[in-house]
Amino acid sequence: MKIRLYGVVRDSIVDGPGLRTAVFVQGCSHHCPGCHNPASHDPAAGYETDTEDILAAMAANPLCTGLTLSGGEPFEQPGPCLELARGARALGKNVWAYSGYTLEELRAMENEDVRALLDELDVLVDGPFLLDRRSLDLKFRGSANQRLIDMKKSALGAIVLWEDPWEKL
C-alpha cells in the first residue's frame, strides 16, 4: 500500500524504547507552534513509497524491536499506518504512535482504520505539542501535556499511562 512520507529513521533510540524504525508520515493539520518537523505539515510534500518496502527493511534488521509512527500526523493516513502496524506485529515488533489528537478525539472519529490502528498500538503518545509546556527532561515526548498511554491496559475505556519497565530496576 502506498504511503506519503517525510522520512524514515531505521535506527531510532528516541522515539520509544529500544532500537526502532521511526516512520514520519507527511501531512499534519495541527501545525503546532514549535513543531520539530514543520516540513512534514504539507500533505503534498515529501515522497511516496510502499509500506511493504518499510516492512522488508524492518524484517532485515534483527536488532529492531519496534515501529514508531510519527509525523506529520499518522492518523491523517490511517490506512497505510494500519498496514505498517499490522506488518510490524506480524514481525513480532511493538508499535508506538505519536498524535496531535488526544485519545478521546481519536476514539470519537468515525473511521474504521483509525479505530483498527488504535487497537494495534502498544503505546499512544497523544496531544498537541505545546511550546509553553516544552521540556527536554521528558521521556519520549516534547511537552508536559502529552500522555504516554498504555493502549492494551486502556482498551476497556479508562486511560492507563505507560510505565517504563526499566525505571523500576
DSSP string, 19-40: SEEEEEES--S---TT-S-GGG
For residue 90, the domain's CATH number is 3.20.20.70
Calpha distance 142→6 (Å, rounded)? 19
Average pLDDT, the chain: 96
Cis upstream peptide for 72 (omega within 30°): yes
Extract the C-alpha cell encoding 111: 473511521
Host domain of residue 157: 2-168
**The amino acid at 118:** L
pLDDT band at 165 (very low <50, low <70, confident <90, very high): confident
Reply yes or no on whether the pLDDT at 169 is more than 70: no
Residue 123 Cα to chain centre, angstroms: 8
Q: pLDDT (tens digit, 9 = 90+) per residue, 127-161? A: 999 999 999 999 999 999 999 999 999 998 899 99
**CA-closest candidate to residue 89, choices 124, 65, 113, 70:** 65
Domain count, the chain: 1
